[in-house]
Structures are given as structure tokens and as C-alpha cells.
Amino acid sequence: MKKAFDVDFHQSPLLVIWEITRACALACRHCRASAIDKRDPGELTLQEGKQLLNDIRDMGTPIVVFTGGDPLQRDDLEKLIHHGKSIGLRIGTIPAGTPRLTYARMHSIKESGVDQVAFSIDASRAEAHDAFRQVPGSYALTLQGARWAGELDIPLQINTVFHQGNLDEVTALAELVADLGTVFWEVFFLVPTGRGSQLKGCTAEEMEDIFSQLYALSKTTPFVIKVTEAQHYRRHVMQQEQHARRSLANREPVEEVHASSRHPHAIGRSSKVVNAGNGFCFIDQTGNICPSGFLSEIRGNTRTHSLQEVYRQDELFVNLRNPRLLKGKCGRCEYKATCGGSRSRAWAVHGDAFAEEPFCILER
């Protein structure tokens, strides 16, 4: 069985997320990008994009995800996927559930060699999902796209954002994710940036409750569960496992198979915590280089700067990889090197990327 990618995060991000366009026909209430309805003429061109992919590969990064906006707004999406594959990258993309999502387009994406396609589903019922995306019919189109991925044998990822409006949906969503034949469920916790700053995220206690449900699910689900922008899920899992080890100390050992071992090739797996600027880098539609889409401090531009130099040498990027700089309870925490809290949420809530994670139950 292959191991998860082993990348030195001081040298290279595990993955680069490239916002190939910000144009999108949806108006999702959590949208970090506050997506717009028309493409920006300043977007990186196909040639610039190919060069960017070469630079990412040369930096030692194995994974690139084309995000948006809606990546389907670009007719050269398949050319970009094909180029990324031709130079040895693993490539994923996140189409939106709009009329641009057709069987022909999915087939063409498959032909271009994509490794994984992700769709966003935030509720188990159409009305709730469509209200969140603010476009009727989006849920049906998204489910259709997910089923086409299955028919075309494209590994399927589902992305879900948890916030105050869907806290009670964990079980129903997990069932839906399983029904769709998903290999990878990426669970996000709201970071209040862009349009998402108008939404109410989960409290520390609510996050902990969802962590418990996800941890229990992870032992039985046929798909990998990855938690994003809640690095303290790792602390929760470590605490649960310590507790289980203590309980089992005087009993016969029980072999447990964690779901993450079932899909060794699922894109985005990492044995280390990934955080803004630490194993992760975001390129926006015009080439601006940021630690994350949620921590969108611009530290350079791919048109004028070396991506590798920015990632390795820029002061903010370097500091984001140093847990000794964390403040507040994260700075005092025994888990600071293995968790570190969401740097993006700290930045969004406190205006300081090194402040404590605002929604962790420790020290309460």
C-alpha cells in the first residue's frame, strides 16, 4: 500500500490551490472569493498557467487543485489538466453545480486525465442546499455531476462546509456521501471571510460535537474523511485515541482500520497537519500568491515573483511554519506542533495570523 505523500513543508507545499477564475453562476453564502458573474480579463492565461504548473512541479509539490469561482467557466480547463498530468502532477478540480456541468464536459475532463473531481454539497435536502448556493436547481445538477463522475470512473470528492445552518446534518450528509460512491469527504468549517463573514460559524462546543461524530464515522465509512480549517480535529483524534488506548490497556488488542487507509491514492492525504502557508499555498485568479484562500495576504505574484522563493523565503510564509510564534492558548498548548489551530480563522477573526484559534475548547 502506498504511503501518503511525504513532503518537507519548509521546502514545498503538499498542495497548491489555483483559483483559475473567479467567475461563477452561483452566489454561495459562504464564498471566500465573493465570486463574480464574468471572467476577469486579468486572469492568468493558458500559457502563464502552464508555466505556473511547471514551477509548482519544480518546487516539489505533488498536488494541484483547480478551483474557482467555477473552473468550468474556462474552456481551457482540460488543457490545463492535461498539461499538469503530462508533467507528473496529481490534479483535482471543483466544478460548480450549474448548467455548464454537462455529461460531455465531464467526459472531456475525464479524457484530460484528471485524478479527482470534487463537488460541494452542504445539505442533504435540495431546498437547504439551493438556499445556501442561492440558485434553485443547483442541488440536482450537483448530484447529477457526482453520478456522472461515478459512471465515468472519476474518483469523487464531496466538499461540505459546516456552519450554524447545517449542524444537525452530519449523519444525513455522511449517508448521502456514501451513496454517491465518494472516495474522499472534505469537511470544512466556516472561516468568516468574503461572503462568509455574514454567516455564523460553529462554536467551539459545536465543532467538538461534530469532531466526535466524524471520528466515529471515520472508523466505518468506505471513504476518507478529511477536515479542513479545523486543525484541532487532530487534537480531538489524538485525545480519543489516547483514551481508547488507556481503556484497552488490560484487554486483548483489537485491530482497527482507520478509513484513511482505505483509499491510499485519494488526493490530498497527508500524515502532517496542513495549514495556511504550511504545506499549503493559494494562487488567485490573477496570480497573487497567498498562504491560503482564507488567509489572503498577498505575498507576491506569479507574473513577477518566483513562487518557490515566496513559499520558502517570504517572512509570513516562514513564520507560519514556526509553531513557537503562536500566541494565546495555541502558544501554550501541548498540541501546537501537531495542531496549531486554523491560522486562517485566527487571521479572519482576530486580524492576526498568529493569534489563538478562536473556536477550540481547550482552556475553557
* Chain residues that interact with ligand SF4, rule: CB under 6 A: 232, 235, 329-330, 333, 335-336, 339-341, 356-357, 360, 362
Task: Please state the closest distance from residue 261 (CB atom) to ligand SF4, in A.
Answer: 24
CA distances (Å), origin 277, targets 12, 49, 192: 10, 21, 18
Alpha-carbon torsion angle 363, 269, 228, 150, nearest 10: -140
Cβ proximity to ligand SF4: between 132 and 233 the closer is 233
Give yes or no for a contact between 231 and 342, defined as CB atoms under 8 angstroms apart: yes
Task: Please state the closest distance from residue 263 (CB atom) to ligand SF4, in A.
Answer: 26
> DSSP state, 90?
E
Q: Which residues are CB-contacts of 54 (< 8 A; sequence separation ≥ 6)? A: 87
Where does 4-120 have alpha helices with state H? 46-59, 77-86, 103-111
Cβ proximity to ligand SF4: between 113 and 358 the closer is 358
Strand partners, 290: 282
Task: Please state the closest distance from residue 217 (CB atom) to ligand SF4, in A.
Answer: 21
Task: Please state the closest distance from residue 221 (CB atom) to ligand SF4, in A.
Answer: 24
Burial of 16 (0-12, 13-18, 19+ CB in 10 A): buried
Cβ proximity to ligand SF4: between 18 and 211 the closer is 211
Cβ proximity to ligand SF4: between 303 and 332 the closer is 332
Beta strands in 170-253 (DSSP E): 184-189, 224-228
Give yes or no for a contact between 197 and 240, defined as CB atoms under 8 angstroms apart: no
Q: How far apart are CA 300 and CA 138, in angstroms?
A: 35
Cβ proximity to ligand SF4: between 80 and 362 the closer is 362
Cβ proximity to ligand SF4: between 105 and 234 the closer is 234
Cβ proximity to ligand SF4: between 121 and 362 the closer is 362
Among residues 123, 37, 113, which one has the least CA distance to residue 81?
113
Give yes or no for a contact between 360 and 335, defined as CB atoms under 8 angstroms apart: no
Task: Please state the closest distance from residue 4 (CB atom) to ligand SF4, in A.
Answer: 21
